Structure 1
Amino acid sequence: MHRLAAASLFVAGSAASVSAQVPTAVDFLGNNSIVTVRFVGSEAADRSTLAYQIGAIGSFNAAGTWTDLFTNNGVGASAPGTQMQIGNVSSGQNVFFRLTNTTQGVGPTFTNFRFYSGLASRNPDNALHMAVSAGSGLAASGGGTFTTAFSFEDRSGTIVPISDFDYNDLRFEISNVSTVVPEPGTYILMASGLAGLGMMARRRRNNA
């Protein structure tokens, strides 16, 4: 994993206020290229850390190994515009993200403030905590461009202080991935549905 100086990568106004984002339950899929993540900026008052996990498609594991990427606010905070390469991700691998709010998540409530990309069921409040939108198109240090942006909501929907769910708290961009990737369970449902349609078509032909 390589870290680049933020100074030459910062875009004026990149940390400015943006409109509310639409949450979505997607995973990021590699394309046999080096994936780079860029910290765009933060509107959050709390301190949080973004970490990532790479695994086979649909292999999300909250208890698995996570690697920290960026931290906002306080000592050692990442500068807006900083890019981090997370390595070559194959077309058979997902990149998962975890945001940990270390201001609110203290003591026994710590895990209640760990939020994940993808399905709402991964999160302690059973809510979506990531939104995805178009990226800036800036060049990524590992090759390619930032075609996809994603942002996190850093507070819980069930524990005070309650989240406003504007998904503007921490914003990032990612290169060389595709989105809207169904998990294996979704593929099974799709296959079952197609099989059912096939059976119905055969019955109609036989009854004709």
Structure 2
Amino acid sequence: MNKKLLTAAMALAFVAGSAQAGLVSPVTPTAAELVTTGGEVVIYFAGQSAGYDSVLNLIEPAGFAGNPFFQNHSTPVGTPLSLGTYAAGTVLRFRMDVTSTGQSFFTGPGAGNPDGLVHVGHANWAADAVIPVDGLWVGFEDILGGGDRDYDDNRFVFTNVRSDVPEPGSLALLGGAALAAAGLRRRRFL
């Protein structure tokens, strides 16, 4: 076997062993919300490369009975957990609690994090031998100030979830509509 082929085979074996084999797009840091496409949402633990301990919590919509879940250093890669069935368009918001440092980081815009930075990356996932579903890969960065920005300190794959970034124009329209509705409501009471 030639040296290049052996190196490629070793790299592939390393990636497959780290539950990264299913990644089919680059990991992109994003302020996007996690939005359901309808149906049962199942989350799979996809591994970690963290020095710190952390757990995941589903904080929106409220009421998930399984919080917290997926302790990053003791959960086997590929472990599935049903989060329930949701209508299409439901926003799911997660918080990763870094129990080693006492810090917490959220999915979505960085404004919710103590350092104001995005701490999540997303990528597309294709079924593999460890996580046998197509879905959305989500990884957290666990260090205040952005850490090494590798977004692999606590990783997950979701079914029936997409990454949704509202367009700036739609946010302005939504804000304008809310102001107009408030103005109409105010006029009725005057």
1:149 aligned onto 2:137: yes
**How far is 1:136 from its partner?**
2.5
For 2:41, the aligned partner's letter is V
**How far is 1:146 from its partner?**
3.0
TM-score by length of 2: 0.70
8 Å CA contact 1:21, 1:168 repeated in 2: no
Q: Partner of 1:72: helix, strand, or coil?
A: coil
Matched with 2:156 is: 172
What pairs up with 1:24-39 in 2 under 5 angstroms? 24-39=30-45
Identity of aligned residues (%): 30
What pairs up with 1:119-134 in 2 under 5 angstroms? 119-134=109-124
Gaps of 5+ in 2: 1-14, 177-190
- More off after superposition, 169-178 vs 35-44: 169-178
Q: 1:101 to 1:191 in 2, by over 3 A?
A: closer
Matched with 1:196 is: none
Q: 1:92 to 1:21 in 2, by over 3 A?
A: closer
1:14 aligned onto 2:18: yes
Q: Partner of 1:46: helix, strand, or coil?
A: coil
Q: 1:186 to 1:14 in 2, by over 3 A?
A: farther
Gaps of 5+ in 1: 1-10, 56-63, 106-112, 194-208
**How far is 1:87 from its partner?**
0.3
**CA distance in structure 1 between the partners assigned to 2:135 and 2:33 by the alignment:** 15
1:91 aligned onto 2:88: yes
8 Å CA contact 2:42, 2:158 repeated in 1: yes
Task: Provide Cα deviations, 1:11-47, integer angstroms capped at 9, x if missing partner.
Answer: 95134699x8321011111122000001111100110
Q: 1:181 to 1:21 in 2, by over 3 A?
A: closer
**CA distance in structure 2 between the partners assigned to 1:136 and 1:14 by the alignment:** 15
1:49 aligned onto 2:55: yes
User: Of the candidates 69, 76, 80, which is equivalent to residue 77 of structure 2?
Assistant: 80
8 Å CA contact 2:31, 2:165 repeated in 1: no
User: Of the candidates 121, 125, 134, which is equivalent to residue 135 of structure 1?
Assistant: 125
TM-score by length of 1: 0.65
For 1:96, the aligned partner's letter is R
**CA distance in structure 2 between the partners assigned to 1:16 and 1:93 by the alignment:** 27
**CA distance in structure 2 between the partners assigned to 1:44 and 1:93 by the alignment:** 30
User: Of the candidates 166, 172, 179, which is equivalent to residue 189 of structure 1?
Assistant: 172
Q: 1:51 to 1:133 in 2, by over 3 A?
A: same
**How far is 1:138 from its partner?**
5.0
Matched with 2:68 is: 68
**CA distance in structure 2 between the partners assigned to 1:165 and 1:186 by the alignment:** 29
Q: Partner of 1:69: helix, strand, or coil?
A: coil
Q: 1:154 to 1:186 in 2, by over 3 A?
A: farther
